[in-house]
Structure 1
């Protein structure tokens, strides 16, 4: 058996400390990752190894898998910015009558089935935005469904030879070096049993273990149900022209409370009976920020949003930006020059370039046209403009900009082209006609070039945690293999199990490989252990098939860390997961699969 040397020992130490620090979450993932890379650089500078160079240790930051994950996150951001999947999500919710179990469980079961025949990554890419949109539409958190989505694809991929690249790799080596020929469905019965057992845990137990986390802005915005007074000017060609009140309400404005319809000099107050909106009417509504943003982002905006003049600006004022519209909230400051003035009198639009889309007053909701409201200290203005115009409000002494409140309005008119780009990327990746890294990078370019995303939005989609986590994990895997650490663990296992029964060896093999595959890549673990398991089978005089299938299942049991598999990294950002979330929710799944396999496999293979 290979002896421990100092470089190998230090490599184990660095990896062990890194994992502990990730799990403790006392320091940022980015800080710990950089520290790990620095430690490996110093280690192999002091103890040179031909297989480990600084270039090799840093190559993980340019790894095709990392570029693919990052590109897919940007493409997902394009779908989010255009609200491209809102309508499909609403259809799913309507079909399932708003019951979360009916909406997500069948979809995840379909995902597991598809993963048996398709590459897992495009399957996750296909369903991630759909499930996220369904969760948001139902008022739930995407965190409840995205990690299950990743895990279900891995479980489904364990059932056939083509379910993952790891399965194919082991099968090809086995076919070339042994008399065992693993065909398409060779281990499907056993794999399906593991997938069902694991699926029950993933679908019904694991969501209860996941912690829902939001950014500060999401928490503040999500908890606020405050309403703004806004004004809708009915012009010729406006989508509300001809809308008739029904039972005192306007169906087209179901998310808003209509407080007044001003028709010339005549105010029409609720309840509205037989009122038909016509050009020239001014509709005063009370609505939440979410409802106003939706009205602005519609393909036919209800408010004077894209390309239209604002209600508080003169006729010759420049329109709102035709590009990305940013909404933010600003409080009228004490001793502000705006106090006691209406929006028309204040000259706010002329001075700042921003348009006031709504006014919120904590003390009372005035029933009058927005243009007639005289501003008071403490009033909250919902303002719209481009990002630079809104940012300049920080230096304005008349209002206090609430930085957390800034958000860009979805550009729904770009939704069809975003969907086309997404489906093309998905189709090319799923069929294997073009490498997924090529299709994903091309999809990013198409999203930006077509106007679905701007550069700032694309850069915001890049998750620094994932970037640093992957780069450092690649460096750790290289160090572990080059220092002989991985081989040491494998040969030590063989030595420790010498003389044990085949069933015990099979169980121990699963556990060791399942632990390693969460820190090495699946394929690296498979390549390392394939010759070892073949040798073990020959030594004890049994068919290698049981040990090869054990290796396939164990190498796919990458649930306990986000670096265990590419799909875990894809869902980490959108789900706001931490390293500890994967440890807490994924480790029980690894144990469940290990115990199930240890009980069933010896009986199945007559060991």
Structure 2
């Protein structure tokens, strides 16, 4: 073993130890490993930061942005209602989302499948009152398992197929991976559904907050095509009971009915006065295709002055017109105490909408635009961030601690879904590489405003990006120095002792190990020549060994760096580096137990 090989293995061992220790941030550890490789000459200084331009890093960053677009527009809520049981318990719900993730991953890039379902998993965890990580990690592993079922499911399968073709045996067909891949995926999904999620560490997502501003009172308009038409108020409240939303008044023909009878049926153009928190409000609007009354008023009640102001707003830059939601508290000294939204001329002066009011004690009894504001009221405001800041400064109100707030938009949800679908299709049919396809999706998201440009960079989990970008050159040094090949050949020669079945098991397990600390595509590229060489030495068919490499490279469950799907959940799940092995180790053992006999059956030596 050369000095360079010993150095890179030593750096890798120390890096893994620091990751498992958990006292330092994972991005700091990864950057330290990179700098150690640069100082020792294992990574040329000019190439130290090449990882930030690596397709895997670009893909992860872009997927996070596209995922944010699906959340912002309410597309996630629609998808969850369509494909997931609404009132099912944990086992059925987790099993359903895992099965969907695995099925999608067989026919699209598994990173894209994970991106599509990750926001749904967060919503599901909230409904089930579980830590988000206990759904995210099973989903990440389920999509990885599903990727091994077809040729296009994951890059290692394509690499293995290419090596087979280069060896003169022809490329693998689309479903050559299915006999073993489907069996492993089914067993793995069932194991995770019934047992696996229970052993995932319960972590709090990074940046999560327990802040709750309470229930808001707001007004929503029943459109002509709303699903609420014909329902009694009692039936409507039963439908939204799980969201803790309730109807406190009904406005019909400009007549306000307080505490209306539960048997009264909802008609088109009715205005429902709801009391709900922001999350319940978003779900209710999405389910019944309702519209905030303020949005309707903005279109109907525009005065000439409003039109002139609106034209002025159109002339402003795109960035200034990006709307946000903010919660604002009215202080005793605020200049707006005793005034209403109409008195303040919020639209003409600031370009803002007052969407809802929360008041301790008695709920406001007047129409929303006529409510006289009091000290202690909480206001849900919508408008450009700069205008909200100006309003807060002028009135002496204070903004509450920031939290993610969103209201659904059917048009924008369709747009966000179409953008994600376009990116996935471009990858699936090989039109563009994954990084370019998802980057094109991010550009489309900014142009169509499903993700406002100001949110693009905040949607990216930068510590995760630094982690991945710093470790890619380290993995490259492991490959360039030959350390990965030396390690693999040593295990095969010394452990397998020339036995074909034992060598097959060692190839499978070694590939799994390397894929946990290296990029899975790089692992497949390193192990395929070794697998072909071992098969030639033993005088057996190489197909079984190549399939073992494909399975092992696809089963990176022990670390967040082995697969991009593992990396994606690191921040949202609040995980530490050492959390993955608790579920990952039993799952890898299960994969070996299921796949090894099947390899001997379907691809005999």
Question: TM-score, normalized by length of structure 2?
Answer: 0.81
Query: Do the aligned partners of residues 139 and 314 (structure 1) sit closer, same or farther apart at CA in structure 2, a change above 3 Å counting?
Result: farther
- Any idea what the Cα deviations from partners look like across 1:444-502, whole Å, max 9, x if unmatched? 22221123222112222222133112211211112212233223313332442374644
**8 Å CA contact 2:342, 2:370 repeated in 1:** no
Q: 1:451 aligns with which of 449, 452, 460?
A: 449
Report what 1:287 is aligned to. 276
Larger radius of gyration: 1
Where does residue 586 of structure 2 map in the other structure?
588
Q: Is the Cα contact below 8 Å between 1:11 and 1:40 reproduced in 2? A: yes
Residue 565 of structure 1 deviates from its aligned partner by 2.0
Which structure 2 residue ranges, 5 or more long, are not aligned?
Answer: 315-320
2-structure distance, mates of 1:110, 1:295: 25
> Which residue does 1:62 correspond to in 2?
53
For the residue of structure 1 that corresponds to 2:518, the secondary structure is: coil
What secondary structure sits across from 1:477 in the alignment? helix
1:246 aligns with 2:232: yes
Aligned to 1:14: 11
CA-to-partner distance for each residue in 1:500-524, whole Å, 9 max, x for gaps? 6444333333322211111122232
In structure 2, C-alpha distance between the alignment counterparts of 1:21 and 1:304, rounded to whole Å: 53
Report the more deviating stretch, 361-370 or 507-516: 361-370
| SS of 2:329 mapped into structure 1 | strand
The aligned counterpart of 1:226 is: 214
* Cα distance in 1, alignment partners of residues 391 and 11 from structure 2: 47
Equivalent residues of 2:111, 2:565 under 8 A apart: yes
Quote the offset at 1:396 in angstroms. 5.9
Query: Is the CA contact (8 Å cut-off) linking 1:296 and 1:303 kept in structure 2?
Result: no
User: Are residues 380 and 310 of structure 1, via their aligned partners in 2, closer, same or farther at CA, if it must alter by over 3 Å?
Assistant: farther
Q: Is 1:155 aligned to 2:145, yes or no?
A: yes
Does structure 2 conserve the Cα–Cα contact (< 8 Å) formed by 1:79 and 1:415? yes
Q: In 2 relative to 1, CA 502–460 (structure 1 residues): closer, same or farther, beyond 3 Å?
A: same
Which whole-Å CA distance do the structure 2 matches of 1:182 and 1:54 have between them? Answer: 39
CA contact (8 A) 1:519 1:563 kept: yes
- 2:498 touches 2:538 (CA, 8 Å); kept in 1? no
For residues 603 and 423 of structure 1, the distance between their equivalents in structure 2, rounded to whole angstroms, comes to 37
Task: Give 5+ residue unaligned stretches, structure 1.
Answer: none
Q: SS where residue 333 of structure 1 aligns?
A: coil
| Residues 495 and 351 of structure 1: CA distance in aligned 2, closer, same or farther (over 3 Å) | same
Q: Report the 3-state secondary structure (helix = DSSP H, G, I; strand = E; otherwise coil) of the residue aligned with 1:301.
A: strand
Structure-1-length-normalised TM-score = 0.81
Provide the rounded CA distance (Å) in 2 between the counterparts of 1:600 and 1:187.
11
Task: Tell me if the contact between 2:365 and 2:371 (Cα under 8 Å) persists in the aligned partners.
Answer: no
Trace 1:199-278 onto structure 2 (pairs within 5 A).
199-211=189-201, 213=203, 219-221=209-211, 224=212, 226-230=214-218, 246=232, 256-260=245-249, 268-272=257-261
Q: Which string of whole-angstrom CA distances, capped at 9 and with x for unpartnered residues, describes residues 210-250 of structure 1?
A: 345555775335xx372223456x89x9999x978836787
Of the three residues 506, 511, 514, the one matched with 1:513 is 511
Contact 1:98 1:138 (C-alpha < 8 Å) held by counterparts: no
* Structure 1 residues 329 and 106, CA gap change in structure 2 (3 angstroms): closer
SS in 2 for 1:444: helix
For 1:391 and 1:463, locate their aligned partners in 2 and report how far apart those are by CA, in whole Å.
26
Residues 590/572 of structure 1: CA separation in 2 closer, same or farther (3 Å cut):
same
Alignment check: 8 A CA contact 1:244 1:250 kept? no
Q: Tell me if the contact between 1:411 and 1:452 (Cα under 8 Å) persists in the aligned partners.
A: no
Assess if the C-alpha contact under 8 Å between 1:92 and 1:134 holds in 2.
no
Say yes or no: does 1:27 pair with 2:39: no
Deviations 1:359-399 (A, max 9, x none): 32334435455567655443323333321233346656732
Distance in 1, Cα, partners of 2:47 & 2:539: 40
**In the comparison of the two structures, how many residue pairs are matched?**
590
Deviations 1:514-544 (A, max 9, x none): 1111112223223323333333344445444
- Contact persistence 2:136–2:569 (CA under 8 A): yes
1:343 aligns with 2:333: no
Cα deviation, residue 283, structure 1? 6.3
Q: Is the 1:507–1:598 Cα contact (8 Å) retained in structure 2?
A: yes
How far apart, CA to CA, are the structure 2 residues paired with 1:454 and 1:268?
39
Q: Would the alpha carbon gap of residues 63 and 465 (structure 1) be closer, same or farther in structure 2, given more than 3 Å must change?
A: same
Note closer, same or farther for the CA distance 1:501–1:164 as it changes in structure 2 (3 Å cut). Answer: same
RMSD of aligned C-alpha atoms? 4.4
Give the conservation status (yes or no) of the 8 Å contact 1:74–1:462: yes
Alignment of 1:418-567 (within 5 A): 418-497=416-495, 499=497, 501-567=499-565
Which residue in the other structure is 1:333 paired with?
331
